[in-house]
Structure 1
Amino acid sequence: MNKTKNIHNNKNDKLIVASIAIVVALALIASPLVAVDDAFATKKKNKANQSIDQSQSSAQNALCTSGGTTFLSCNNVSFQHQFNSGNNALAQTGQGGNSAEQSISQSQSSSQNSQVVSGGDTIGSGNNINVQSQTNTGSNAAAQS
């Protein structure tokens, strides 16, 4: 009876070992196929878009109608200042190619219209004054490999 038990246990042990070997073999075969960074994985592509945009606009209209003297009337004054100290920095690495777009853009516009109709003097009236300045101390830097 002891001999029968030992043979029966040996068969179970061999079956368990064979099952484990099959599971390990399947895992070893399948792992390169599902790995993201493995040699069998598809090539990576990087794309990046960065921008710093600033915009200002001013639209002014004035209309004065007077039967007498028009003094310091219907004037348009616009002061605009833009200061940008922003930076764009970008680093990419990839085997399938990199694409990067960086921009720092500033724009200003001013539209002024003044009309004076007077029956007398128009001293200091109907003037359009516009002062604009832009300063950009930002920079773009990109590194790709």
Structure 2
Amino acid sequence: MNKTNIHNKNKLIVASIAIVVALALIASPLVAMDNDAFATHKKGNKAKQSIEQSQSSNQNAGCVSGGTTFLSCNNLSLQHQKNTGNNALAQSGQGGNVGDQSISQSQSSSQTSNVVSGGDTIGSGNNINVQNQENSGSNAAAQS
């Protein structure tokens, strides 16, 4: 075979693959119309949807000093979670619907501080923990 025939054969193969892919993309919504996603009247729906946020802080500090211990062995933990999105779920079907939907936020902090000093311990061995959670989004579910 010469170069022109090989080139034309490759073009034919690529064109055939493109046609098969195009037909599959066009036909797939037609096949999917009987799916749960379209909420037909013959079937029920099951949906699980969640937004979860979690934070954890573990801090340990230990100081041993023969003299004054100043501003040492302090733990500081600042945690903030903000969710401004929405969590919406809608279902329709006669076969029964099951919906599980949640927005969950959790925070934890564990702090220990030990100071052994031969003098003053000014501003030392403090544990400070500030946590904030904010959810300004909505959580809506509808079923019929």
Q: TM-score, normalised by structure 2?
A: 0.70
Which residue number in structure 1 is paired with residue 18 of structure 2?
none
- Match of 1:69, SS? coil
- Report 1:75-86 matches (<5 A): 75-86=74-85
Q: Which runs of 5+ in 1 are unaligned?
A: 1-35
- Encode CA deviations 1:32-74: one digit per residue, 9 max, x unaligned: xxxx69xxxx930100000000011111000000111111100
The structure 1 segments of at least 4 consecutive aligned residues displaced by more than 6 Å after TM superposition are: none
| CA deviations over 1:112-138 (Å, ceiling 9, x no partner) | 000000111111100001111111112
The question of whether the paired residues in 2 share the 8 Å contact of 1:98 and 1:144 is answered with yes
Bigger radius of gyration: 1
Pair 1:67 & 2:29 matched? no
Aligned residues: CA RMSD: 1.8
Number of aligned residue pairs: 107
**Aligned twin of 1:128:** 127
- CA-to-aligned-CA distance 1:3-41 (integer Å, 9 cap, x gap): xxxxxxxxxxxxxxxxxxxxxxxxxxxxxxxxx69xxxx
- Aligned counterparts of 1:137 and 1:61: Cα–Cα separation in 2: 34
Do the aligned residues in 2 keep the contact of 1:52 with 1:86 (CA within 8 Å)? Answer: no
Alignment of 1:1-145 (within 5 A): 43-145=42-144
Structure 2: 5+ residue runs without aligned partners?
Answer: 1-33, 36-40
